[in-house]
């Protein structure tokens, strides 16, 4: 099994990166391969709502000069993924937001029932808002989110300070363990428990 972990921080070795490494270590202890992809320092176009992905081969994005299409394909093929971002003004960092808008608009249909979770780092406040925003993508893509004992938020400002947040690190670590358990559970059940019956989506617009 394989998990793709997306680091949406512009600082590769920052607190968000430390949180992902802790989660990766827990997953690897369970025999699950983890690939961490660093996107936060890149130049990534935002979605322009052109609709190209709806009709393109493999539902790829019209912009092909950055990492989005390549990473989306890896996330489609993986058994699960982790989204991470530092907290900027109680929200997702800008580059990561552009990345997520395009990946999920092109690929949500491929993420259904994958195991996925999110994590953030924050200096003081706003981290819960960021986790909520990250989880909006996961919920709308109908992924399965593993639990933990608290919100998956680690505290720290300078690089590495998150490692001094005992409760935050424990929460993140337990979330990774739950993710490994869910991945194994779903893999074991594939042959005996079918996915829920699907039905054609009803779209209701409020402006007539």
Rounded to 5 degrees, what are φ and ψ at 3?
Answer: -125, 135
pLDDT at 207: 84
Structure confidence by residue, pLDDT tens digits, 99-153: 999 999 999 999 999 999 999 999 999 999 999 999 999 999 999 999 999 999 9
pLDDT at 87: 98
Domains and CATH numbers, the chain: 2-189 (3.40.50.360)
Please give the model's pTM, rounded to 2 decimal places.
0.95
DSSP helix/strand/coil, 168:
helix
Tell me what the pLDDT averaged over the chain comes to.
96
Range list of H helices, the chain: 15-29, 52-55, 68-77, 94-111, 127-140, 166-189
Our CA dihedral for 6, 174, 178, 121, rounded to 10 degrees, sits at -20
pLDDT at 36: 98
The tokens of 8 are what?
């949406």
Structure confidence by residue, pLDDT tens digits, 69-101: 999 999 999 999 999 999 999 999 999 999 999
Asked if 173 contacts 154 with a C-beta cutoff of 8 angstroms, the reply is no
Cα 52 to Cα 50: distance, rounded to the nearest angstrom: 6
Mean pLDDT of 21-41: 97
The tokens of 68 are what?
């989005």
How many alpha carbons fall within 13 Å on the CB side of residue 39? 31
pLDDT category at 206 given cuts 50, 70, 90 is confident
């Amino acid at each position: 099994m394989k998990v793709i972990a997306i680091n949406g921080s512009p600082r590769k070795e920052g607190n968000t990166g430390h949180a992902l490494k802790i989660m990766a270590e827990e997953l690897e202890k369970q025999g699950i391969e983890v690939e961490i992809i660093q996107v936060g320092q890149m130049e990534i176009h935002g979605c322009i709502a052109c609709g190209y992905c709806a009709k393109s081969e493999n539902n790829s994005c019209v912009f092909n000069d950055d990492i989005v299409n390549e990473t989306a394909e890896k996330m489609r093929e993986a058994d699960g993924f982790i989204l991470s971002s530092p907290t900027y003004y109680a929200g997702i960092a800008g580059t990561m937001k552009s990345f997520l808008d395009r990946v999920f608009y092109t690929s949500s249909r491929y993420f259904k029932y994958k195991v996925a979770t999110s994590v953030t780092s924050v200096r003081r406040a706003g981290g819960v808002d960021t986790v909520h925003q990250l989880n909006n993508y996961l919920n709308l893509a109908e992924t399965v989110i593993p639990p933990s004992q608290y919100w998956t938020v680690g505290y720290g400002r300078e690089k590495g300070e998150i490692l001094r947040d005992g409760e935050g690190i424990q929460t993140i670590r337990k979330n990774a363990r739950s993710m490994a358990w869910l991945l194994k559970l779903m893999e074991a059940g594939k042959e005996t428990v079918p996915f829920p019956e699907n039905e054609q989506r009803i779209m209701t617009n409020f402006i007539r």
